[in-house]
Amino acid sequence: MTKSPEHEHPVKAFGWAARDQSGHLSPFKFSRRATGDKDVTFKVLYCGICHSDLHSIKNEWGATKYPLVPGHEFVGEVTEVGSKVQKFKVGDKVGVGCLVGSCHSCDDCAKDLENYCLEAVGTYNSTYYDGTPTHGGYSNIMVVNEHFVVHIPNNLPLDAAAPLLCAGITTYSPLKYFGFDKPGMHIGVVGLGGLGHVAVKFAKAFGVMVTVISTSPNKKSEALEHLGADSFLVSRDQDQMRAAVGTLHGIIDTVSAVHPLLPLISLLKSHGKLVMVGAPDRPLELPVMPLLMGRKLVAGSCIGGMKETQEMVDFAAKHKIAADIEVIPMDYVNTAMERLAKADVRYRFVIDVGNTLKAA
């Protein structure tokens, strides 16, 4: 007989969950496993709202299993550690991103690329090794194997550090892997939202030139004056786009809605790379001829492995990089989702779980 979410595990837990494709979130009682030998248990204090959460609660990718507790960029304070845990202790500030498990034996895991493991277990909307569903950070407590826990340096504000565990690593990893962090590079960042604004911050910390590409002219001053971008293109302005043809070594495309790729490919120099990190819910049209004429590449990148995620957080602490956030109470989350769908946030909602999540 199938156990209810409240009785799957011995530790009582509470959060907010979506029950159907309406995506409406409401209070939800469930349970977490007891702290195992290699587990870290922590009280969740802040959780960022990723665009993936919005896609997932509405089943826009067609794979959601309800009830769903979202959240895969969250931080908190350790309350208990297992007897074999070596890297963490009670009281540490820690975080969890998009992963809570992998096989540890495949080629990708051996290369610290657990994010590409075929048996990777997502922080929510996945099935854990014991057969129970995983639930994310819109909740009061988390239990996770220490391998998938990230230490949060003391000089990073916890609320603004939370989005780094998804938005941060999603942009940091391709910047490094594709060589966009090298001196003399000129890169574009498409979309100035939760991912895009962090991409600009990391790229400028690497010392490269950055052009922000947006459909919104009113984001120009924000991009140039606040985030430190070097230039700004309005993608709907044909004259601006034409003048910038062939000027960029690479582009990080953060947009999660359907949009044309040809204008972006045209901005690349020969051998340039367009790297997709947003995840639209419908296929994009990819024109091949412009790729041939210049040996250009279109690639994808998905978060990063645990070693690189810790490296990213440490880099962010060293360079004082954090997300620009709007902190909200738990009961504002449905309104926040509506605003996120309209891109009405600067630039990441973060739920104050520790102070505003009240058990029913």
SS (H, E, C) the chain: CCCCHHHCCCEEEEEEEECCCCCCEEEEEEEECCCCCCEEEEEEEEEECCHHHHHHHCCCCCCCCCCECCCCCEEEEEEEECCCCCCCCCCCEEEECCEEECCCCCHHHHCCCHHHCCCCEECCCCECCCCCECCCCCECEEEEEHHHCEECCCCCCHHHHHHHHCHHHHHHHHHHHCCCCCCCCEEEEECCCHHHHHHHHHHHHHCCEEEEEECCHHHHHHHHHHCCCCEEEECCCHHHHHHCCCCEEEEEECCCCCCCCHHHHHHEEEEEEEEECCCCCCCCCCCCHHHHCCCCEEEECCCCCHHHHHHHHHHHHHCCCCCCEEEECHHHHHHHHHHHHCCCCCCEEEECHHHHCCCC
Cβ atoms of residues 194 and 51 within 8 Å: yes
d(CA 58, CA 64): 8
Q: Hey, what are 295's tokens?
A: 């040996």
Q: Residue 116: what are its φ and ψ, rounded to 5°?
A: -105, 5
What average pLDDT does the segment 327-342 reach?
A: 97
Region 29-37: mean pLDDT is 97
CB-based contact 35:81 (threshold 8 Å):
yes
pLDDT, one tens digit per residue, over 190-245 is 999 999 999 999 999 999 999 999 999 999 999 999 999 999 999 999 999 999 99
Distance, CA of 305 to CA of 341 (rounded, Å): 28
For tokens 């802040």, the residue is 46
Return the axis-axis angle of helices 167-177 and 306-318, rounded to nearest 10°.
100
Residue among 201, 240, 246 at smallest CA distance from 217: 240
Chain segment 235-290, per-residue pLDDT in tens: 999 999 999 999 999 999 999 899 999 999 999 999 999 999 998 889 999 999 99
- Report pLDDT digits (tens) over 67-126: 999 999 999 999 999 999 999 999 999 999 999 999 999 999 999 999 999 999 999 999
pLDDT attached to residue 352: 98
> Region 12-19: what's the mean pLDDT?
98
Does the structure show a pLDDT above 60 at 29? yes
Task: Say if domain 168-300 classifies as CATH 3.40.50.720.
Answer: yes
Hey, which CATH number is domain 11-166+304-352, 1.10.357.10, 3.40.50.970, 3.20.20.70, 3.90.180.10? 3.90.180.10
Which pLDDT band, with edges at 50, 70 and 90, does 294 fall under?
A: very high
Residue 239 CA, chain-centre distance (Å), reads 33
The model's pTM is 0.96
Give me the amino acid identity at 191.
G
CA geometry: angle 279, 285, 290, nearest 5 deg? 115
| pLDDT score recorded for residue 2 | 73
Tens digits of per-residue pLDDT, 148-184? Answer: 999 999 999 999 999 999 999 999 999 999 999 998 9
Kindly state the tokens that stand for 334: 């449905």
The two domains 11-166+304-352 and 168-300 share their CATH topology (first three levels equal): no
Q: Which residues contact 207 (CB under 8 A, 6 or more apart)?
A: 183
What's the CA gap between 207 and 204, in Å, rounded? 5
CA dihedral of 118, 13, 130, 51, whole degrees rounded to 10: -20
> Is 7 a residue whose pLDDT tops 90?
no
Task: State the residue for tokens 């969250």.
Answer: 74
Domain ranges for the chain, please list them.
11-166+304-352, 168-300
Amino acid at 96: V
